[in-house]
Amino acid sequence: MIEAAEKLLAHSDDQDIATRAVCEAVGVTQPRLYRLFGDKRGLLDAVADAGFERYARHKAQLEQTDDPVVDLYAGWDDHMDFAVANPALYQLMFAPRPHSHSQARRHILGLLEASLLRCSAVGALRIDVSHAAQLILSSNVGVALSRIAEPALFDDGLSHRARDAAFGAVLTQPVASATEDPVGDAARQLHSQLTLTGSEALEPAEESLLERWLERIVERSGRARPEKAQG
Amino acid sequence: MIEAAEKLLAHSDDQDIATRAVCEAVGVTQPRLYRLFGDKRGLLDAVADAGFERYARHKAQLEQTDDPVVDLYAGWDDHMDFAVANPALYQLMFAPRPHSHSQARRHILGLLEASLLRCSAVGALRIDVSHAAQLILSSNVGVALSRIAEPALFDDGLSHRARDAAFGAVLTQPVASATEDPVGDAARQLHSQLTLTGSEALEPAEESLLERWLERIVERSGRARPEKAQG
DNA sequence: CGCAGTCATGGATCAATGATACGGCTTGTT
DNA sequence: AACAAGCCGTATCATTGATCCATGACTGCG
């Protein structure tokens, strides 16, 4: 029945299900559902917890590297994959629901803490496990919900950038400095200044062409910059 | 009427409102509401957009420092304050709602980009404005929604830790001191860098013309002191 | 001033849905 | 076989999102 509810939820366009629909999808009556779950909220909690179990199973198959930091990176990406693959279920698990008794968030935080504990054991963690887990999970959820809510506003590369930002603040590994690309940095700064105030020294056509060139420089240097983490 | 809807929403414990309740709180009939907003979703969109306007007004009163990075930090904290002060409205604005036409998220992203553009203009930004805005907003929303959903799981200091993590990934460590001629400074810096290392992104002819333009910008800003440095 | 036409208005109502009461059936025990 | 107990499902209620149609107000014309 939980499977049916999740299926209906995934296919419903307004992110809501009717208890009647769930019941007749399984072939049972409504009182049965209410004796089993007590409430519609109870049913949704059960669906959310079932979602966590699937999440945990999928994650258990994945995490077997001997480098805990690599596993951490894979965990973030896996989380994002889960979110985009099951947006409705993901919202059920991570969007605020009043009076929800689902333990999915707490359990996933526990999984993340376990993963971080391994990192901390090899000295890769800069702050304590609990705080790091909160930071990573909330950031990860924020990116996922933002992408679910309005994919047009949030870039495809956002997940990796946010991941590196969160991990950079949490892990002890040296953070790549921005001074590796001085040309790009200077071009970016000038581009912003021109956008903000303009310049009386150039004709409008010249300024427009200059801005295009600066964008090219920034883009080129962004590609050439050594991007360390992918996977 | 929007105010009444928001008030009811804030006081409702299940994070939902009945169109009847809104109508009789204002003293109008239901068809009136449906001719005004077309839909319950339309009403909620209107409430969300009204929430953005309050957010924007509150923010406009705040942002007046001459250090854009300081303003950026204040903006994050202000965002969190808004979230904890108006949790229901905040969820309406930032939690995914199917088929929502609310522009609140887009507008707030625009405000953030404007704030970041000022940072980038003084060389405080390591990546481009749009990407930085996406990262900061999604992380901020994630922390806020997590705290709203389950305050017990997420520490009080999480907001500041996440803030520093996001900003640390986005800002350059040494903040360039504000000068009276930022365009000229940026142009001079880029000119020097191009002279030193060049750029593969431009053709030689383009690069040569770019250097002449940069010289013109530097010369002009050196001669005519820009007294109106506002944009 | 009177009248027809147009349109907003709201009481009444429909349809969907969450939740439940009550009669009937199965099951186990004597 | 008779009886008690518990589960099941039909039928139903209450709430709520959304809409229909008779009514009345306003406008423009004669």
Nearest to B117 by CA among B137, B100, B132: B132
Provide the terminal-to-terminal Cα distance of chain A, rounded to the nearest Å.
36
**How near does any CA of chain A get to the CA of B58, in Å?**
23
Question: DSSP labels for A53-71?
Answer: HHHHHHHHHH---S-HHHH
Closest nucleotide relative to residue B30's CA, C1' based: C10
Q: What kind of fold does domain A41-170 have according to CATH?
A: Tetracycline Repressor; domain 2 (1.10.357)
Residues 13-52 of B with CB under 7 A from strand D: 16-21, 30-31, 34, 39-41
Q: What kind of fold does domain B40-170 have according to CATH?
A: Tetracycline Repressor; domain 2 (1.10.357)
Q: What sign for the dihedral angle of Cα A54, B149, B108, B137?
A: negative
Q: How confident is the model at residue B226, as a pLDDT?
A: 44
Select the more confidently predicted residue: A224 or A107: A107
Does A171 touch chain B if contact means CB atoms closer than 8 Å?
no
Q: How confident is the model at residue A105, as a pLDDT?
A: 97
| CA distance to B58, B86, B142, B209, per residue, from B54 (Å) | 6, 11, 21, 47
Q: How confident is the model at residue A177, as a pLDDT?
A: 44
Q: What sign for the dihedral angle of Cα A217, B106, A150, A140?
A: positive
Select the more confidently predicted residue: A154 or A217: A154
Distance A203 CA to D6 C1' (A): 89
Does A103 touch chain B if contact means CB atoms closer than 8 Å?
no
Nearest to B140 by CA among B123, B120, B115: B115
Take residue B43 and report the two structure tokens written for it: 């009403």
Take residue A140 and report the two structure tokens written for it: 């990860």
Q: What is the dihedral of CA B112, B115, B120, B123, to 10 degrees?
A: -130
Please tell me the least confidently modeled range out of A140-144, B53-57, B177-181.
B177-181
Q: How confident is the model at residue B192, as a pLDDT?
A: 67
Question: DSSP labels for A29-41?
Answer: -HHHHHHHHSSHH
Q: How confident is the model at residue A123, as a pLDDT?
A: 83
The span from the CA of B170 to the CA of A219, in Å, is 16
B146: left (phi over 0), alpha (psi -120 to 50) or beta: alpha
Which are the contacts of A130, defined by CB distance < 8 A and separation ≥ 6?
A: A113, B155
Residue A198: list chain B partners with CB under 8 A.
231
Three-state SS annotation for B172-186: CCCCCCCCCCHHHHH
Three-class secondary structure of residue A171 per DSSP: strand
Take residue A33 and report the two structure tokens written for it: 């559902």
Three-class secondary structure of residue A3 per DSSP: helix
Which backbone phi and psi does B171 adopt, to 5 degrees? -95, 155
Q: Give the model's confidence band at A46: pLDDT under 50 very low, under 70 low, under 90 confident, else very high.
A: very high
The span from the CA of A50 to the CA of A41, in Å, is 14
Asked if the Cβ of residue A190 lies within 7 A of any atom of strand D, the reply is no
CB contact under 8 A, B182 and A193: yes
Take residue A150 and report the two structure tokens written for it: 């309005």
Q: How confident is the model at residue B218, as a pLDDT?
A: 75
CB contact under 8 A, B217 and A201: yes
Q: How confident is the model at residue A173, as a pLDDT?
A: 72
**Cα-based angle B206, B207, B212 (whole degrees, multiple of 5):** 100
Residue B199: list chain A partners with CB under 8 A.
183, 187, 217, 220-221
Take residue B205 and report the two structure tokens written for it: 């002819």
pLDDT tens digits along A31-45: 999 999 999 999 999
Take residue A65 and report the two structure tokens written for it: 């590297």
Mean pLDDT of chain B: 88
Closest nucleotide relative to residue A42's CA, C1' based: C18
Residue B204: list chain A partners with CB under 8 A.
none
CB contact under 8 A, A186 and B186: yes
Three-class secondary structure of residue B129 per DSSP: helix
Select the more confidently predicted residue: A183 or B224: A183
The span from the CA of A22 to the CA of A44, in Å, is 11
Q: How confident is the model at residue A229, as a pLDDT?
A: 43
Q: How confident is the model at residue B177, as a pLDDT?
A: 47
Q: Give the model's confidence band at B64: pLDDT under 50 very low, under 70 low, under 90 confident, else very high.
A: confident
Nearest to B71 by CA among B106, B114, B127, B42: B114
Q: How confident is the model at residue A222, as a pLDDT?
A: 62
Three-state SS annotation for B110-128: HHHHHHHHHHHHCCCECCC
Please tell me the least confidently modeled range out of A20-29, B90-99, B178-187.
B178-187
Residue B195: list chain A partners with CB under 8 A.
none
Nearest to A108 by CA among A68, A59, A63: A59
pLDDT tops 60 at residue A51 = yes
Q: How confident is the model at residue A230, as a pLDDT?
A: 41
The span from the CA of A116 to the CA of A73, in Å, is 11
Distance B33 CA to C18 C1' (A): 24
Distance B30 CA to D30 C1' (A): 39
Average pLDDT of the segment spanning B93-105: 96
Q: How confident is the model at residue A224, as a pLDDT?
A: 56
Which B residues, 17 through 56, put their C-beta within 8 Å of a C-beta on chain A?
none
The span from the CA of A196 to the CA of B182, in Å, is 10
Determine which of B139, B158, B189, B212 to mutate to test the interface with A (most A C-beta atoms within 10 Å): B139
User: Which residue has the closest alpha carbon to D9 C1'?
Assistant: A29
What pTM was estimated for this model as a whole?
0.84
pLDDT tops 80 at residue B191 = no
Task: Report the chain A residue with the minimal C-alpha distance to residue B185.
Answer: A190
Distance B37 CA to D27 C1' (A): 27
The span from the CA of B175 to the CA of A183, in Å, is 17
Q: From the CB of residue B72, how many other CB atoms can be counted at a distance below 10 Å?
A: 25
CB B125 within 8 Å of CB B77: no
β-pair partners for B68: none
Nucleotides on chain D within 7 angstroms of protein Cβ: 8-11, 15-21
| Domain range summary for chain A, segments of one domain joined by + | 41-170, 178-224
